[in-house]
Structure formats: structure tokens, C-alpha cells
Amino acid sequence: MRMTTVLAGMLLAGACLANQVQESKVDAQTRELARELRCTVCQSETLWESNSTLAQQMRALIREKLQQGQSPEQVKDFLFQRYGDYILMKPRFSGAHIALWLLPLFLLLIGAYALWRTLLRWRKPVAMSTAAPLSPDMRSRIDRELQQAEDES
């Protein structure tokens, strides 16, 4: 009885393992490449995740080019030339991308400097007026006018 149980278990395990299909190298490369490329219809999904007709056609194109002997980089370059930067889920770091990445940092630094300068101005005591002192004639005129204002009230 024990022997039949063990034998039945081994046969079941063998049957389960036989059902697993080994993934070919081309299929693995297709999957990896499709995960790196964006679906042009869905926009936020990779070619691997998308179920659109175009994504299915592009996966078939990738598989076909890999079966023809092209490397994954050659296939990626082919699609890049055809669709541009948009096709890549992780865009290449070059040219205009450098400016797009560095411009916000540059603007943040300028804003921090402007804020720092403004705060320094607020903390600085107000300087005394540098106007020339009053002449004796002007002082006497001010005193007369103040006296007249008091007399009228």
C-alpha cells in the first residue's frame, strides 16, 4: 500500500512537471524587450502589459526580428528610429533630456538664492536717512509754521 502511494505521487509529480513548457530564448528576449517598450496606443503601459491590437502586432514583430537573428539592441534601435524617444519606457539620457532634467534643479537653486537674499534684506536694520541736515533757516521756518498751527487750533 505504501509503495503504490509513493509510486502514484511520483507519477503525479512527473505529469505536473511535463505540463510546464520551457520558454525559448527568443520568447524570453521578446518578453524582456516588450517590458522595456511603451505601447503607443495605451501610452502608460508596456507592450507586454497592453492588449491592444497594435501591441500584439509589435510583439509579433519583435519576435520575428529576433528569430531572424537580430539582437535585442538592434530591434530596440529599429523601433526607436521608427517611433522616437516615446517608445522607450526609460528614455535615453542625452541632449534635450539633460536640459529637461537639469532645468528644474537650476530654477530651484535660483529661487532658493532669491529667497535667501530677500530674507537677508528683511533682517537688515533700516539705515538712517542720508539726507543733508536742515539748515538754520529751514529749521526756523518749520518752527514758525508749527507755532502758527498751534495758535490757530
pLDDT digits (tens, 9 = 90+) for 73-110: 999 999 999 988 888 888 777 777 788 888 999 999 99
Domain that holds residue 81: 21-87
Share of residues in the chain with pLDDT > 90 (%): 48
pLDDT of 112-145, one tens digit each? Answer: 999 999 988 888 776 666 677 888 999 999 999 9
Give a yes or no: residue 72 inside a domain: yes
State how far the alpha carbon of 126 is from the alpha carbons of 57, 67, 131, 132, in Å: 72, 78, 14, 18
Domain-located, residue 77: yes
- Is 117 inside any structural domain? no
Residue 46 lies inside a defined structural domain of this protein: yes
One-letter amino acid for residue 38 of the chain: R
Question: In whole angstroms, what is the distance from residue 113 CA to residue 64 CA?
Answer: 55
* Predicted pLDDT at 19: 47
pLDDT of residue 109: 96
- What pLDDT shows up at residue 3? 66
> What CATH number corresponds to the domain at position 61?
1.10.8.640
CB atoms within 10 A of CB 49: 13
The length of the chain, given as a count of residues: 153
Q: From CA 97, how far away is CA 80, in angstroms rounded?
A: 16
Confidence of residue 146 (pLDDT cuts 50, 70, 90): very high
Confirm whether 43 is domain-assigned: yes
Q: In terms of Cα–Cα distance, which of 52, 44, 56, 54 is closest to 86? A: 44
Task: Please tell me the number of Cα atoms within 13 Å of 152 on its side-chain side.
Answer: 6
Q: Note whether residue 80 is domain-resident.
A: yes
The per-residue pLDDT for 114 is 96
Tell me how far apart the alpha carbons of residues 93 and 100 are, in angstroms, rounded to a whole number: 10
Structural domain contains residue 152: no
151 domain-assigned: no
Whole-number pLDDT of residue 63: 95
Domain count, the chain: 1
Cβ atoms within 10 Å of 31's Cβ, excluding its own: 15
